[in-house]
Structure formats: structure tokens, C-alpha cells
Chain A
Amino acid sequence: MRLKLLAAAAATLMTVAPAMAELVIPALNYRTGAYAISGIPFADGFSDYMTLLNDRDGGIGGEKINVMECETAYNTEKGVECYEQTKGQGALLYIPQSTGITYQLIPKASADGIPVWSVAYGRTSAVNGKVFKWVFNLPVTYWDGASVAVKYAMSEEGGSLKGKKIALLYHNSAYGKEPIRTLEKLSEKHGFELLQIAVDSPGQEQKSQWLQIRRERPDYVLFWGWGVMNQVAVQEAANIRFPMDKFIGVWWSGSEGDVLPAGAGANGYKALAFNGTGTDYPTLQAIKEQVIDAGKNAGDGTKWGEVGYNRGVYSAAVVAEAIRGAQAKTGKSAITPSDMRDAMEALDISADRFTELGLKGMGGAIKLSCAVHSAPRQAAVQQWDASAKAWSLITDFMDPDFDVIDPLIEEDSMAYAKENNITPRDCKM
């Protein structure tokens, strides 16, 4: 009898316990809480792409991918808990999905020897791989974004911003303040006036700020918002009849959920983007047919093709490519976090390779190195069509002003190295 019970218990455990895949990617998702509207599309896109690889290709190099979801609710403490829970289960790489969690994981993951990829958020100066050996922040940083936004405004103004006024409406936090230094430098260089307007978190009440914008009449408003601040800002801009085509958000202020509540008033609003929009990609079509229509999707399937969903697919494709690189270099299918780090550092995804992956034009070509942990550092501008309820890219992916930004990155990363007693690596080896 006891034997039967033990056998039954063992059988139950075997049924309940997740299959131990050899390519473990913890997903620190936030499907609940105040920021779930941003977290759900990314989580769905990331998981659905990996499901496609598992089902269609049998995983990567014969190994199944295990996307180990852990809910953070965008809470830094919960994110760290997720890290602690999952790091011992073969985690190859962490995508923290939050600047707060990224900052917590930088020292922890570096000590544990697990690479961290903050996808266009986190610490900008992590671009410098000589200092941040275990951290990657491709494909673009906030400083690059600020520069691309100014470059775009300049092109709209016939090549000069001299005498123009640009307002920065920003979330009053470390994230929101990120572009200030870059914009100050650019205002000196191009002769425009920079008006800084802060909004306290969460940003449900922005009447004062928009009255100020109405009084000051800036030529452009650049926008570094997050969460409910995005929807309120778009609505308030529509309320004061600010020309929406002169209102440009960062990529975290440019998803469907940010503009839909304002209805027709949001038409023409622009935002920076580091990934392509829409569903016109062979891989997205494959996901629709083989994952969503087959009922194997991670969410409810309604986010397919949204900006955040595509961002998740793009990120998953990059991770998969790094895994392939690690397997090719080491000659083994079951890789370690250290192999993964080396592969991230050697990442080389050309435009042709993106096409082979069924994601032609989803992002700019990526080529990383020991010293450079972010590439291509490009952003495009996307615009919202309220009647079609769709974003579309209206520019190519553009380079930032490297001459202005790279010295700032060097300065900030070296200051970090000094504070933390880090000897920068010699990347000539």
C-alpha cells in the first residue's frame, strides 16, 4: 500500500513539475498591477516566439526553450525575489523589464555570472562593455533616443532648430530625467531653448504642466512618460489642441494603450521606436498560424502585432540568436550563462539575418563587441493613425549624435567604475 502511495505521489509530482528544459530563460513579467498594459504585450510576444521555436524547430539546437515566467507586477522587490528563485534553475539570461529591477540585478547578476539584458532601459552607460561585463542594453539608450528625437525635429524644421523652443515633459524619476543631460548638450549645440517640465508619479493630474505648455507655446514637446502618465498626457495635449505631430514620446510612451483612451484626439501623435510595427512579417504570421490559432499562445492572442508584442518577439529573436551563437561557439547544445554572455558580446545580426529570421526590418542590424554592449543605437519615428487604430513607422531607423553622447557614456561609466572599484577590461585582447 505504502509503495503504491509513494508511486502515486511520484507520478503526481512528475505530472505537476515543469519539464526541465535545458535552455532556461526566466521572464520577469508584469501581467498584473498598474503597469500591466505595458507588460502583457511584451510577455505574450516573447513567449509566443519561443513557443514557435519549440514547436516548429524543436527548440534551438535540439534543446527546448523553457520560458520560466515569474510575476513581478513591476515591483522591484518582487523582481529581485524572482531572480533569487530562478537563478539556480539554469537561468541563462535575465531581461528585467524594469529599470528599478535592472539596477538591483546589475551587481547581483555580475557576481553570480549571469548576463542581464535591459532592452532599451536601465543604465545608459552600460553601453560600455569594458566596465559592465555582464550587462547589455541594446538596441538603443535613452540618450540615443533624445538625440534621435532632436534630429527628427531638426529635419522637420528644414535642418535648423536655432531659436526654437523644445519642451521636455518628463516623469519625475531617474528614468524621466535620463534625457536631460543629452538635451542640454544638444540645445547648446543647435541653439534651441530647452524647457523642462516635470510630472510627479503617477501622473494622473497634469493640468498645471499643460497649462504651462499652452502659455509657453513650445515648437515641440518631447515626452518621457510611463504608465497612466502617458494616457493623461495624450488626452491633455488633445484638450489644449497642441499639434499632435509636434508631440514626440519615447518608446515607452508609444504603445496602443497609451493612445486609445484619447480616441480621435490622439491622431498624429508620434513616438520613437526601436522595433517595427504591424504584422507584415513572416514570423508574426507563423506565430499567428502555429501558436495563436493552435491555442498555444501565452496570453489571449489579442496583443498580436501590437508595438509591445512585436518588441517581445524582437527580444526573443535576439535571445534565440545569442543561444545559437553560444551553441555554435562551444559545440554543445546545453550552454551555460557564461557561454551566453560571451555569445551576447559576439552578437552579429545583419539585416539579411533578420530577413532569414522572418523579421525583415523589425530592427536595425546588431553587432556587439567586448567594448560595445549596445547596438545599433538607432530609433525610428512612428505615428498613430486614430482611424485605423494603428502605428506605422514614418522614418527609417536613425543614428543619434554619437559625438555628443559617446563622451557622456564614457564619463558616466568611468565614474561608476571608480565608485565600485571596477577595473575596466582591456578589450584589445
Chain B
Amino acid sequence: MPEQLLFAMEVTLNGLMSGVLYSLVALGFVLIFKASGVFNYAQGVMALFSALTLVGIMEGQVPFGHMINAIFGTEIHHFGWHVPAVAAILLTMVVMVALAWAVNHFIMRHLVNQEPIILFMATIGLAYFMEGFGDLMWGADIKNLNVGLPQGLNSFIDETTFNALGYGFFIDNLDIVASVVAALLVIALVIFAQYTKQGRAMRAVADDHQAALSVGISLNFIWVMVWSVAGFVALVAGIMWGSKSGVQFSLSLIALKALPVLMLGGFTSIPGAIVGGLIIGVGEKLFEFAIGPMIGGATENWFAYVLALLFLVFRPQGLFGDKIIERV
């Protein structure tokens, strides 16, 4: 088999894996948009905040330690214990549910039936608040995140492809784990949205807030639930991305990777977030491989948006998004 074809196959496989990581971030956006029509600008910061909280709990870090020490002149940084990863993830989820409640109590419920742009602006404010709050709570240092996920070259794939094709493919173990987790997450979310009472209520709220209220659906409960689920998705994304680069404040920028995925897959479709992620992942990697070297490289960031825009020309609602028709 020609060498270039083998390279292209390897790039495609890695593109699929990267696409799954993008989808993980996009899923959080889709969930909240589906339930409340809000484009949650704070989704990336939620991933950061959840990862910071997870590491903080695992390492036994004292929240707001810097502030406490500055005010009281103490030198308290750690409780002196380490919490196992599973327990820390569960505790972090409790924090994310509390955050969801706070977001609903202090922001969302005051904005029922407001224009989407108002809701969007509120999430911008939330993003900045959470970033500062996370800094105050856990500090700005880079933090190692190790929940026991494998990383690095998958030797089995490397050896198998080498024996079969004469060239060993590189696939990162972490990407394989992320793909499995994302698949399970999507299946769970689709089942939840389609077949559970709360899931159907969530979709009803998404269609019309007031109509949902009139049939006895608790808007507060649904929004807290949805923000909690989005918080869980953010935590999963934070773990995957944080395991690669450490937990640091630029983690919030992963949201930039989700935008073209949403444009392509549609803002209201969970499968769309996955398919969109895969198309963007493969598309940008193949373009970088084939065209990048001719035009100076670093094409991935902008090409993802170009690809999404091309799709939008033919399907403005995205591949799987709901077609919105407004009659006047």
C-alpha cells in the first residue's frame, strides 16, 4: 500500500478520535440549548471549573486557601488527605449540582421568557464570574490530573498495523477511552431524553416555557436538572482534556473547538454533536495533512469553521438541527 495512503488512514483515525473529544464539549452546549434555548457561553468554563474542583478534592486542597491565609495570616493549603478518584468525581458532581441550582436560582429563573440574546449575555457574565471564582477557590496554578486513565501509544494497534501493513499506526490510549466514554454518554443521554419522564419534560420546556408550565412541569426543576447534566458532561470533558494538558485556565478555551461542531451538527441534536465532531475532526486533520504543508500549516482552527460554514450554506440548521420556520 502506498505510504501516503497509510499516513492518510492514520490521520483519519486520529481525526475521528479528536472529533470525539470535540463532541464531548459540544454535548454540554446541546443539552442546555435543547432544554432552555440558551446558548451557554460558560460551557468551557464549566469544564474548567469542574476539573479544578475534581483535582482540588482529590488533592485535599483547602478551597479559598489563598484568601483565608491572606485575611487571617494563616498558612493553610491542604487538609492532608487524598481522596480516591471515583469518590472525588462523585463529590465534584455534588458541587456541579449545587452550581446548577445556584445558576437557576440567581440567574435563569429571573430571565424566563426573555429574549435569547439576554440569556446569552447572562451566560457570558456567568463565564467570567466562574473563571474568577475558580481562581479564588482553587488558585491559578497548573494542576496534574490523574484519575488513572491510560495515555500514550497503543502498542496493540501499533504492532497489529505494522504486521499487516508495514506501518504502525499511532492511536493514543486516552483517545480510545474518550471514545468509549463518549459513546456511553450519548447512548445514556438519548435514552434519557427520549424515554424518561424527565427527559420528555425537558423537551417540552425546550419547545415552549409557558406551555410546559401550564401542564404542570416545574421549570425550576428541569433547568436545575439540565444544568446538572451539562455540568456532568463538562466534568467528563474536563477530565479528558485536563489529563492531556494538566488542569489550567486555558482549559476553558476548549469551547472554541465545540462551536464549529455545533454549527455543523445542529444546536439541538445529541447525535448531531457526535457526527459533527467526527466530521470536523477528520476534515481538519486531513486538510492539515494534505494541504497544510503547502500553505504554511496551522490550518485546523480556521478550517474547522470553513467546513462548518460550507455545511451551513446547504443546511442552515445544521445536519441534525431542528428547522425553525417562523410565519408572519
A interface residue numbers (CB < 8 A to B): 31-37, 40, 172, 196-200, 202, 204-205, 207-209, 211-212, 214-215, 227-228, 231-232, 235, 238-241, 257, 260-261, 263, 265, 295, 300
Contact = CB atoms under 8 A, between A and B. Distances in A.
Contact of B298 (A35, A172, A239, A240): A172
A236 B298 CA distance: 17
Nearest to B21: A205
B56 interface: no
Contacts of A200: 298, 300-302
B141 A40 contact: yes
B144 interface: yes
B194 interface: no
Interface of B: 7, 10-11, 14-15, 17-18, 66, 69, 73, 75, 77, 132, 135, 140-142, 144-146, 151-153, 170, 172, 241, 244-246, 248-254, 257, 284-285, 288-289, 292-293, 296-298, 300-302
> Would you list the 6 A-B pairs with minimal beta carbon distance, nearest first?
A261-B246, A36-B140, A198-B298, A34-B250, A228-B250, A172-B298
Contacts of B7: 211, 215
A12 to B, nearest CB: 19
A172 B288 CA distance: 14
B142 A202 contact: no
Contacts of A32: 132, 135, 140, 249
B245 A232 contact: yes
A215 B168 CA distance: 11
A257 B250 contact: no
B282 to A, nearest CB: 11
A268 to B, nearest CB: 15
Nearest to A214: B170
A211 B289 CA distance: 9
Contact of B153 (A34, A196, A227, A239): A239
A208 B285 CA distance: 6
Nearest to A30: B140
Contacts of A31: 140
A303 to B, nearest CB: 9
Contacts of A235: 151, 244-245
A207 B285 contact: yes
A215 B169 CA distance: 10
A241 B249 contact: no
A37 B248 contact: yes
A300 B77 contact: yes
Contacts of A241: 152-153
A34 B249 contact: yes
B245 A196 contact: no
Contacts of B141: 36-37, 40, 257
A214 B140 CA distance: 33
Given A34-B248, A202-B250, A231-B245, A208 B292 contact: yes
A189 to B, nearest CB: 24
A241 B245 CA distance: 17
Contacts of B254: 204
12 contacts: A200-B301, A204-B253, A207-B14, A211-B11, A212-B289, A228-B250, A231-B245, A235-B245, A238-B152, A239-B152, A239-B153, A261-B142
B153 A231 contact: no
A199 B298 contact: yes
A228 B14 contact: no
A240 B216 CA distance: 56
A263 B284 CA distance: 29
Contacts of A232: 244-245
A204 B73 contact: no
B297 A197 contact: yes
B296 A198 contact: yes
A202 B73 CA distance: 37
Contact of A208 (B146, B151, B288, B302): B288
Nearest to A177: B296
A84 B285 CA distance: 44
A100 to B, nearest CB: 16
A265 B170 CA distance: 17
